[in-house]
Amino acid sequence: MKILAIETSCDETSIAIIEAISDTSIRVLSHVVLSQVAIHAEYGGVYPALAKREHAKNLVPVLEQALREAALYQAGQTVMPDNVEQILEREPDLFGHFTTFLEKTAMPGIDQIVVTQGPGLEPALWVGINFAKALAAAWNVPLTPVNHMEGHILSVLIQEKTDSEITLADITYPALALLVSGGHTEIVLMDEPGKYRLIGKTQDDAAGEAFDKAARILDLPYPGGPEISRLAEQGLPNEAIKLPRPMIDSGTYDFSFSGLKTAVLYLVRDLGGIEALSDQTRADIAREFQHAALDVLSKKTLAAFTEFSCQTLIVGGGVSANRALRTMLQEKLVAIDPAAKLLLPGPGLSTDNALMIALVGLFQIKSGKIPTTDFAAEGRLSIVNE
C-alpha cells in the first residue's frame, strides 16, 4: 500500500510517499521538503499570507518531484472530476497549476492520501487541505486528516532515512513525549498507540519561539534556534550573566518562556546595549539562555517521566534538533533509569516534514480510522482525543 502525505501547516511545503511493507516496516519512496525559511527571514518570522501564497505556488511542483523520485510519475492524462473546481475555488492559482498537471499526468497508483489538518497557521493549512481534497477526487483515493503534533511524536519512528526497507523504531508504553517547536511546547503522555493525554504546556511563548526571540535580541538571523545553539557552544560560564529558570519549581508540568525572553532583553540593556557587547559576551548570553530553557524543559520532562512510570521518552519538534538538549536528556534519563529508551527524530525530521505525517497516516489506517473529505483546517487542533 502506498500512502501520499501532504504537510503545509507552517513554512515548509512537503510531500512524502511511503510504501507500507509490513506492520513494522516501510519504504520511503520519496520525501520532498521545500522550505520557505529564506523568504520569511526578512520579516523575522513566518508571515501567514505569504506562507499560503508560497504553498499554492509550490504544491504542484513538489508533488511532481515526489512522484518522479518515487518512480510513480507517468505521462498521460487524468480526467478532472467536476467538483475539483469547487474544491479549489478559493485557490485560483493552485487550480490553474493543478489543471495543467492533470492534463499531462497519468494516475500514479496511490492508495491513500493524508494531510495535516492542524494545528498550524490556518491559511497555510487550508491550501494543503484543499489540494489534498482535489487530489483525492481526481485520483478517487481515500483521504484522512492528520494531527501535526502526532506527526512530531511519530517522527521518531524513523531513526535513519534510507532508500531500502526501514524497520520502524519500537515504542514501549507508556511513553512520554516532549514536543518543542516554534508554535508548541507540550508534554504528552502516550498510554498506547493513538491515545494521548496532555500533561503540561506553555502558558505563553513556545520554546522555539523563545529561541527565536532571544536570537533577535542578540542580533542573530531567523530562525534563531540553530543560531543560538551554535553561538552557545562558544560561550563560557560567566558570573555576570545569569538568567531565570521560569516556573522550574512550580510543581506543575506547565511552562512559561516569555519572562525568559524579557530577562535577556533587560540583561542586554543593563550591559550597555547589543552594540557594546563583545562577541564573547554575546556567546556567554546565548549559552546561559540555552541552559535556562533546557534546564526547565528537562527537569519537568523527567519529573513527568518518573511520575507516570514511563518506558520510552520521545522528543519531537524543531527544538529537538538542539544538540545540547539531546545530550542533557540522555544523561539525565540514564541517571534515573538506565533501561529507559530515548527516541529522537533522525536527521532532517525534527522540523516540519511530510514523512512524519505519512507515519501518522499509516498508524491510522492500521487502527481502522474511517477516511473522510468532510473536514476543515483547525489552527488549534488538540492532540487529546477525548
Interface contacts to ligand KG4, rule CB under 6 A: 10, 181-183, 208-209, 211-212, 223-226, 229, 317-319, 321-322, 351-352
Give which of ligand KG4, Zn ion, none residue 223 binds (C-beta under 5 to 8 Å, depending on kind): ligand KG4
- CA dist 33 and 221 (Å) reads 21
Of 186 and 352, which CB lies nearer to ligand KG4 in the complex structure? Answer: 352
CB of 245 to ligand KG4, least distance (A): 17
- For residue 225, the partner it binds in ligand KG4, Zn ion, none, with Cβ less than 5 to 8 A by kind, is ligand KG4
Does residue 350 belong to the site contacting Zn ion (CB under 5 A)? no
Q: What number of helices (H) and strands (E) belong to the chain? A: 12, 11
Using CA atoms, how far apart are residues 45 and 48, in angstroms rounded to an integer?
Answer: 10
In the block, residue with C-alpha cell 531567523: 222
352 scored as a contact of Zn ion (CB under 5 A):
yes
Is residue 116 a contact residue for Zn ion (CB under 5 A)? no
| Residue 130 contact partner, candidates ligand KG4, Zn ion, none, CB within 5 to 8 A by sort of partner | none
When CB distances are held under 5 to 8 angstroms depending on the partner's kind, the choice from Zn ion, ligand KG4, none that residue 319 binds is ligand KG4
Q: Does 284 bind Zn ion (CB under 5 A)?
A: no
Measuring CA to CA, how many Å separate 220 from each of 139, 186, 259, 278?
46, 26, 20, 14
Min dist. Cβ of residue 335 to Zn ion (A):
29
Single-letter residue type at 67: L
Q: What minimum distance in Å lies between the beta carbon of 105 and ligand KG4?
A: 30
CA–CA separation, 86 and 5 (whole Å): 22
How many Å is the Cα radius of gyration of the chain?
Answer: 22
Query: Does 209 sit near Zn ion (CB under 5 A)?
Result: no
In sequence order, the 6+-apart residues with CB closer than 8 A to the CB of 292 are 243, 244, 245, 260
Element spanning 144, H or E: strand 143-147
The C-alpha atoms of residue 159 and residue 349 are separated, in whole angstroms, by: 9
Q: Which is nearer to ligand KG4, 27 or 245 (CB)?
A: 245
Residue 235 contact partner, candidates Zn ion, ligand KG4, none, CB within 5 to 8 A by sort of partner: none
CB of 151 to ligand KG4, least distance (A): 9
C-alpha cell at 138: 481526481
CB of 9 to Zn ion, least distance (A): 7
Q: How far is the CB of 178 from Zn ion (least distance, A)?
A: 13
* Phi, psi at 66, each rounded to 5°: -65, -40
Q: By C-beta, is 87 or 215 nearer to ligand KG4?
A: 215
Q: In terms of CB distance, is 20 or 321 closer to ligand KG4?
A: 321
Question: Given the complex with Zn ion, which of 48 and 174 has the nearer CB atom?
Answer: 48
356 touches 13 (CB < 8 A): no
Q: How far is the CB of 284 from ligand KG4 (least distance, A)?
A: 18
Q: Are 352 and 10 in contact (CB under 8 A)?
A: yes
Strand order in the sheet with 143-147: 143-147, 112-118, 2-7, 12-22, 25-35, 166-167
C-beta closer to ligand KG4: residue 123 or 208: 208
Residue 278 C-beta: closest distance to ligand KG4, Å: 23
Question: How does strand 25-35 pair with strand 166-167?
Answer: antiparallel
Q: Select 256 or 373, whichever has its Cβ closest to ligand KG4.
A: 256
- Nearer of residues 10 and 175 to ligand KG4, judged by Cβ: 10
189 DSSP β-pair partners: 176, 197
Cβ at position 314, least distance to ligand KG4 in Å: 14
Q: How many Cβ atoms sit within 10 Å of the Cβ of residue 323?
A: 12
The binding track of 45-84 with respect to Zn ion, each residue x by CB under 5 A or -, is ----------------------------------------
181 part of the interface to Zn ion, by CB under 5 A: yes
**Nearest by Cα to 196 from 150, 152, 144:** 150
C-alpha grid cell, residue 86: 469547487
With respect to ligand KG4, which residue has the nearer C-beta, 54 or 352? 352
Q: Which residues bind Zn ion (CB under 5 A)?
A: 181, 352
